[in-house]
Structure 1
Amino acid sequence: MSVLICGSLAYDTIMVYSGQFKNAILPDKVHILNVSFLVPDLRREFGGCAGNIAYNLSLLGGDPLPMGTVGKDFDAYAAWMDEHGISRAHVRQIDSAWTAQAYITTDLDDNQITAFHPGAMNLAHTQDIATTGVTVGSVSPDGRDGMLLHAQQFVDAGIPFLFDPGQGLPMFNGEELKAFITQASYVAVNDYEAELLVDRTGWSLKQIAERVDALIVTRGGKGSHIIARGKTHEIPVAKAESLADPTGCGDAYRGGLLFGIAKGLDWDTTGRIASLMGAIKIERPGTQNHRFTLEAFRERYEQEFRAPLNGL
């Protein structure tokens, strides 16, 4: 029951600003914006949406197949994937490019300013999806042409997939987004992306939900909504022991989401697994530094949600 995750694999340089952006940016001076943030804390992490989702899915005992194009500097990331038993069968190295790089500055309100160099990711369209043994797919942020190609290939292969546009959503116009939604079985966005999706397509969330098996909208500390077959499942936020770093929480949620979909779990259980994954991630800095045993996860789930966890 493999999950093919098409998306970016990237190095994340994460910097934590010990103040608030709103106090450093003057609204009436944005036309001549020139700001500098002192960042005492800096880390270089393994990231990218495909890499992060695959890591989280593997923690749950799933079978992730991350698929993406990487650059000549990927050796350290490759060793990390090997160490954690994550397949590199569908990771293609491009020796003439750098691996995608994200430079993320986070303030004390968990706001983020990100600069992103796509590098080899822009050649994602040079790969075709794998179909053998793949139960479900994901089209996550990647090269623009790659996202368009892989969505169509999933349709042609009859493989249901999650459309997870994330920060790649602004690359597409309304008609292209309508096509993605029509092709996909599931759509996952955060609340800001949901508004942008509505604005660009002209479709309401209800109309979008009617075109897919499930529409998932995450809302940060307010939990998430899963709209499936006309019913809205209210998924509560799982309590976190600390708020160390929000980077990668959405990918952790999607790892739980894809686990539930691949396992055929009901939406309430799937959403709660995803919610707990996000809480566990936010307790640790970086996107792939959290750990747990399945026994510990099950125990925490049952304590948090006062319900048995079946299917894990």
Structure 2
Amino acid sequence: MRIAVTGSIATDHLMSFPGRFAEQLVAEQLHTVSLSFLVDTLDVRRGGVGPNICFGMGLLGLSPVLIGSAGADFAEYRSWLDRHRVDTESVRISETQHTARFVCTTDADHNQIASFYTGAMSEARNIELQPVAERIGGLDLVLIGADDPAAMIRHTQECRERGYAFAADPSQQLARLEGEDIRTLVDGAAYLFSNEYERALIETKSGWSDEEILERVGVRITTLGAKGSRIDRKGEPPIFVTVPAEEAKADPTGVGDAFRAGFLAGVTWELGLERAAQIGSMLATLVIETVGTQEYELRRGHFLERFATAYGEAAAAEVSAHLA
């Protein structure tokens, strides 16, 4: 199954300030703030929803195609993804802009001051899907993740025009998108991904009820945090999937992307929706136990042992037949 993943490509620059921002702010001078914080640590992490999802799929033995826009500074990141089975040939390299960057400083009370530089991400709207399909011999599914809003709409419309099945995953961009745009991104999707809050936001901003959305999409997948996930289809009872027990809780960033990676692997292996969500939940658990969205490892034996504990030996045996 040939799966392409479109979405933001970014690096995260995370710094920690040992003091408290509140102690540095003077209420009467907030209109002329000029501050510099001496930070103790700097962590540079690979990020962006597109690479995060592709990385997880690569660990599971698949070779997804990453589609997005990056800067000339993408070379090292590209090498990392290439080593993890991700096809990066369709990443557009900007001639003028740097790769998108998230810069965040966190204080001792876990308050944050952050900036997001869109950079090359804004050029993703110039990417056409047909050349990608021609290069790899067709597209069986295109996941349209959070990216430049104009790019998300263009990719969705092209999927409809050319008959490519697509999965809608607007996530972080829902706050920016208007109702008409959300309806454009959702209508006709084979799969619709969201978390519980985004699920309600999609309904509120689109003006469509849950029933109306199920008339327009094939499968609706909602992640429920520690409660697991829910899968809905028109005329079918919902499927609820629990999450495996955590060995530790380090950082939740990237958990949703890992779930999508595992789910798409299950779809590729034709294991059914429940099993796909179980794979996604297991992969997401590995992420929450690790700091960084692409810093976790997948050890086959360890993965299957924990999968069997969570979902049973029969379920683990089905996954074992496909797991790299």
Please classify the TM superposition score into its range, dividing by the shorter chain length: 0.7 to 0.9
- Map 1:1-312; keep pairs closer than 5 Å: 1-15=1-15, 40-104=40-104, 115-129=115-129, 130-131=132-133, 132-229=137-234, 230-307=236-313, 308-309=315-316, 310-311=318-319, 312=322
SS at structure 2 position matched to 1:121? helix
Instruction: Identify if the C-alpha distance between structure 1 residues 107 and 291 changes in structure 2 by more than 3 Å, giving closer, same or farther.
Output: farther
Aligned residues: 308
Task: Give RMSD over aligned pairs.
Answer: 3.0
Q: CA deviation at 1:39?
A: 6.5
Structure 2 spans left out of the alignment, 5+ residues = 24-29
Q: Residues 234 and 74 (structure 1 numbering): CA distance in 2 closer, same or farther, change over 3 Å?
A: same
1 CA distance for matches of 2:45 and 2:58?
Answer: 18
Q: Aligned partners of 2:196 and 2:156: how far apart in 1?
A: 23
Secondary structure class of the residue paired with 1:73: helix
Worse-matched range after superposition: 267-276 or 34-43: 34-43
Deviation at 1:302, TM superposition (A): 1.0
Deviation at 1:273, TM superposition (A): 0.6
What's the secondary structure of 1:97's corresponding residue?
Answer: coil
Q: For 2:220, what is the secondary structure of its paired residue?
A: strand
Counterpart secondary structure, 1:154? helix
- Deviation per residue, 1:116-149 (Å, 9 max, x gap): 2111111111111122332211000111111011
List structure 1 segments (4+ residues) > 4 angstroms apart after TM superposition: 15-21, 34-41, 104-114
Output the amino acid matched with 1:263. W
**Separation (CA, whole Å) in 1 of partners of 2:55 and 2:271:** 20
State the alpha-carbon separation in 1 of the partners of residues 191 and 109 from structure 2. 30
The alpha-carbon deviation at position 224 of structure 1 amounts to 1.4
Separation (CA, whole Å) in 2 of partners of 1:136 and 1:161? 5
The whole-number CA distance in structure 2 between the counterparts of 1:178 and 1:85 is 34
Stretch deviating more after TM superposition (64-73 or 38-47): 38-47
Larger Rg: 2
Paired amino acid for 1:292: L
1:113 and 1:239 map into 2 onto residues whose CA distance is: 32
Give the equivalent residue in structure 2 for 1:28.
none
Alignment deviations for residues 33-78 of structure 1 (CA, whole Å, 9 cap, x no partner):
x899997553111111110000001111112101111012212212
Inter-CA distance 197–149: structure 2 relative to 1 (3 Å threshold): same
Quick one: which amino acid aligns to residue 5 of structure 2? Answer: I
CA, structure 1 residues 127+282, in 2 after alignment: closer, same or farther (shift >3 Å)?
same
The DSSP-based 3-state class of the residue aligned with 1:42 is: strand
Identity %: 34
- Compute the TM-score of the two structures, normalised by the length of structure 2: 0.85
Give the letter for the 1:262 counterpart: T
What amino acid maps onto 2:77 in structure 1? Y
**Separation in structure 1 between the aligned mates of residue 46 and residue 149 of structure 2, nearest angstrom:** 22
**Offset, 1:102:** 1.6
1:163 to 1:58, Cα distance in 2 relative to 1, 3 A = same
